[in-house]
C-alpha cells in the first residue's frame, strides 16, 4: 500500500465484507478502519477525513455518496455490490467513483483497488497547491523550478489543459510524468470529472483489455458477470494510460479505433459504447524509435502525439535540486509532525553533484530519509560512495562508446544467408526485455529485495512488479554464509 498511515472508512457494508477489508487494512498497518452507517457517513467523514471510502451499493448508500462528493470531490470512493451491472452501481458511476468491487470480496482485489485509490489520492494532494500556483503564475519546484526547459513544460501544460487534445508525456522513469498528467486534468474543463489511471505495463494482454474496456457475461470462462472498464469510469473525465508503449499490437489497434470513432466495444460484445474521455498517455521509452522498429503503430503514435510534453531528467536540471529537496523536506516534516530539520551545506552539495538515475522520485525518497533520526549522516555516506564510484568508473556517453566493427563475412559463409539475431523487430524486443530485466534486478538489489520499495522506485504497481519478477525468472539470491 502507498500510505501506511491512511484511515479507511466503510459505509453500510455487511459483516463478511467488512471483515475482508479489516484484514487487508490490518496487514498493511494502516492507522485504522472506521465504520459508519449511511445516515452518519458525512458527519463521520468530516470528523476523521479518511483517505478512501468503501460504500455498499446494496445498502442504499447513494445519498451518502452524494453527500461525500459535496464535501470532497477528490476523495477516492469504491463501490461494493453483489450486482455489478445494477442500477445503483450505474448511477454511482456517474458520480466519479474510483472503482467497483463485487461481492464476495477477495483480499487481493481489495488490496489492488485500495492501492490504486491511495496512489491517486497522494498525487491529488501533491498538486493541490500546484493548481493555484500555476494559475497565478507563481513558480512551483515540482513543475517549474529554475530550469528553462521546465518553465516551458509548465507553459505547454497550461496551454494543453485548455483543449481536449490527446497528450503524450515522455520522460525517464521518475521524472514526474504522473504528476504532469494529473495537473493537465486538474487545469482542464474536465476537472470535475474522474481521473482514471491504467498501468499498461506488467499485465497480460487479456487482463489489460478487460481492465480498459470491461467485459460482458460469458466473454470468457471466468466472466460470470458484466464488468465495466476504466473507459466507463473515465466518462466525462480523463483516461491516463501509463507506459502506453507496453501495449500489445492488437490492443494498440483497438485503442486507435477508440480515438478514431469515439466509441469502444466491451470484451464479448459487438455493441459500441460511447467514449467521452480525454486521453493522456506517458512513456519512458522513445516511441518514435519504437515506431521505426515496428513495435508501435505509426498511426496510433500520431494520434497520441498531438501535444508532446518532454520532461528532462533531473541530471539535466541540477539548478532545481535544492528547491525540490526543500519542498520535499517541508512536506515530509509536516507529515511526520516534526519541525523542518536543518540540512548541512555539505549534504546539499552532494545532492546537487549526484546524477539521480531515478530522477525526482529517487530524490524524493532520499529526502524522506533526511527527516529520520540519523538520516542525514547515512544519506551523506551513500551519496559520497555513489559519487566516488562514478568518478572512478565513469560510464561512457553514448557518442563516446567505441564501435567494434564486425568481421567481414565470406561469400560462401552459410551464416550469411540468415541474420544471426533475427529481424529488426526481434532485435528490438530482445534488447528491451534484457534491459528491463537488468533494470528490475538492479533496483531489487538496491532495495535489498523490498518489493514494495522497488515498485515505487520503478514507478509501477506492486502487482505489476510481481508479474515482471515471475516473467523474467528473477530469484532473490540465497544469503551467503
Same-domain status, 323 and 222: no
Of 87, 107, 127, the position where a domain reaches its end is: 107
Would you place residue 125 in the very low, low, confident or very high pLDDT band (cuts 50, 70, 90)?
low
Same domain, 81 and 169: no
The band of 206, judged by pLDDT with boundaries at 50, 70 and 90, is confident
Whether 125 maps to a domain, the answer reads no
pLDDT at residue 175 in the model: 92
- One domain for residues 321 and 308: no
* Any domain includes 371: yes
Q: Which three cell numbers stand for residue 134?
A: 500555476
Based on the fold, state whether residues 201 and 288 are members of the same structural domain.
Answer: yes
pLDDT in tens, 466-475: 878 887 888 8
Q: Are strands 227-228 and 214-215 parallel, antiparallel or unpaired?
A: antiparallel
Does 45 share its domain with 151? no
Residue 54's DSSP bridge partners are 10, 78
Same domain, 214 and 146: yes
Instruction: For residues 192-210, give the mean pLDDT.
Output: 89
pLDDT winner (highest mean) among 47-51, 300-304, 411-415, 428-432? 300-304
Whether 202 contacts 194, CB under 8 Å: no
Do the Cβ atoms of 296 and 248 come closer than 8 Å?
no
304 shares its domain with 227: yes
In degrees, rounded to 5, the angle at the alpha carbon of residue 257 between the alpha carbons of residues 90 and 164 is 70
Residue 374 belongs to a domain: yes
Whether residue 294 is found in the same domain as residue 334: no
CB 154 within 8 A of CB 130: no
The Cα–Cα gap between 178 and 180 comes to: 6
Dump pLDDT digits (tens) for 270-329. Answer: 889 899 999 999 999 989 889 988 999 999 999 999 999 999 999 999 999 998 998 888
Given 295, 312, 329, which residue is the final one in a domain? 312
Please state the rounded mean pLDDT for residues 47-72. Answer: 85
In a domain, 120, yes or no: no
Here the CATH number for the domain that contains residue 177 is: 3.40.50.300
Under a CB-based contact definition with an 8 Å cutoff, are residues 456 and 365 in contact? yes
- pTM of the model as a whole: 0.59
Residue 31 confidence (pLDDT): 58
Higher pLDDT, 412 or 355: 355
Domain enclosing residue 187, as ranges: 139-312
Give how many domains the chain has, as a whole number.
4
d(CA 300, CA 279): 12
- Containing 55, the helix (H) or strand (E) segment is strand 52-56
Q: Give the end-to-end CA distance of the chain in Å, rounded to a whole number.
A: 33
Q: Going edge to edge, which strands form the sheet with 52-56?
A: 32-36, 7-11, 52-56, 77-81, 99-102
Do 379 and 441 belong together in one domain?
no
Identify the weakest region by mean pLDDT among 207-211, 358-362, 449-453, 458-462: 458-462
Q: Is residue 403 part of a domain?
A: no
What is the number of other CB atoms lying within 10 angstroms of the CB of residue 443?
22
Q: For the chain, give the percent of residues with pLDDT over 90.
A: 26
pLDDT at 237: 94
Q: Are 8 and 51 in contact (CB under 8 A)?
A: yes
Amino acid at each position: 500500500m502507498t500510505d501506511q498511515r491512511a484511515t479507511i472508512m466503510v459505509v453500510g457494508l455487511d459483516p463478511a465484507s467488512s471483515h475482508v477489508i479489516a484484514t487487508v487494512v490490518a496487514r498493511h498497518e494502516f492507522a485504522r478502519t472506521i465504520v459508519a452507517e449511511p445516515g452518519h457517513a458525512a458527519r463521520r467523514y468530516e470528523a476523521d477525513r479518511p483517505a478512501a471510502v468503501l460504500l455498499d451499493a446494496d445498502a442504499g448508500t447513494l445519498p451518502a455518496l452524494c453527500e461525500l462528493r459535496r464535501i470532497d470531490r477528490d476523495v477516492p470512493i469504491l463501490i461494493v455490490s453483489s450486482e455489478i451491472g445494477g442500477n445503483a452501481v450505474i448511477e454511482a458511476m456517474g458520480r466519479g467513483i474510483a472503482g467497483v468491487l463485487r461481492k464476495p470480496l477477495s483480499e487481493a482485489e481489495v488490496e489492488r483497488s485500495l492501492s490504486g485509490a491511495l496512489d491517486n489520492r497522494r498525487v491529488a494532494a501533491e498538486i493541490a497547491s500546484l493548481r493555484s500556483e500555476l494559475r497565478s503564475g507563481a513558480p512551483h519546484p515540482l513543475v517549474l523550478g529554475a530550469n528553462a526547459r521546465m518553465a516551458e513544460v509548465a507553459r505547454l501544460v497550461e496551454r494543453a489543459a485548455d483543449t481536449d487534445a490527446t497528450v503524450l508525456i515522455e520522460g525517464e522513469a521518475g521524472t514526474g510524468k504522473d504528476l504532469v498528467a494529473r495537473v493537465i486534468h486538474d487545469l482542464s474543463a474536465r476537472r470535475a470529472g474522474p481521473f482514471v489511471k491504467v498501468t499498461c505495463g506488467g499485465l497480460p494482454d487479456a487482463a489489460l483489455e478487460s481492465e480498459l474496456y470491461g467485459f460482458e457475461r460469458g466473454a470468457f470462462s471466468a466472466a460470470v458477470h458484466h464488468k465495466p472498464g476504466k473507459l466507463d469510469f473515465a466518462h466525462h473525465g480523463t483516461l491516463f494510460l501509463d507506459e502506453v508503449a507496453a501495449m500489445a499490437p492488437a490492443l494498440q489497434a483497438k485503442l486507435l479505433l477508440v480515438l478514431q470513432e469515439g466509441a469502444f466495444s466491451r470484451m464479448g460484445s459487438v455493441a459500441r459504447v460511447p467514449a467521452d474521455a480525454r486521453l493522456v498517455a506517458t512513456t519512458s521509452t522513445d516511441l518514435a524509435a519504437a515506431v521505426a522498429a515496428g513495435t508501435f503503430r505509426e498511426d496510433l503514435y500520431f494520434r497520441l502525439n498531438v501535444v508532446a510534453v518532454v520532461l528532462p531528467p533531473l541530471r539535466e536540471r541540477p539548478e532545481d535540486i535544492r528547491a525540490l529537496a526543500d519542498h520535499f523536506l517541508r512536506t515530509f516534516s509536516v507529515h511526520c509532525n516534526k519541525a523542518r530539520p536543518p540540512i548541512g551545506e555539505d549534504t546539499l552539495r552532494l545532492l546537487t553533484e549526484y546524477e539521480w538515475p531515478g530522477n525526482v522520485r529517487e530524490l524524493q525518497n532520499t529526502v524522506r530519509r533526511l527527516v529520520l533520526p540519523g538520516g542525514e549522516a547515512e544519506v551523506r555516506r551513500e551519496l559520497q560512495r555513489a559519487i566516488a564510484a562514478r568518478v572512478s568508473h565513469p560510464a561512457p556517453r553514448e557518442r563516446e562508446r567505441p564501435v567494434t566493427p564486425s568481421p567481414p563475412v565470406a561469400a560462401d559463409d552459410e551464416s550469411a544467408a540468415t541474420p544471426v539475431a533475427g529481424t529488426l523487430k526481434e532485435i528490438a524486443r530482445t534488447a528491451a526485455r534484457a534491459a528491463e530485466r537488468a533494470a528490475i534486478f538492479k533496483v531489487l538489489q538496491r532495495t535489498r529485495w523490498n518489493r514494495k520499495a522497488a515498485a515505487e522506485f520503478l514507478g509501477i504497481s506492486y502487482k505489476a512488479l510481481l508479474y515482471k519478477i515471475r516473467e523474467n525468472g528473477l530469484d532473490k539470491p540465497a544469503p551467503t554464509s
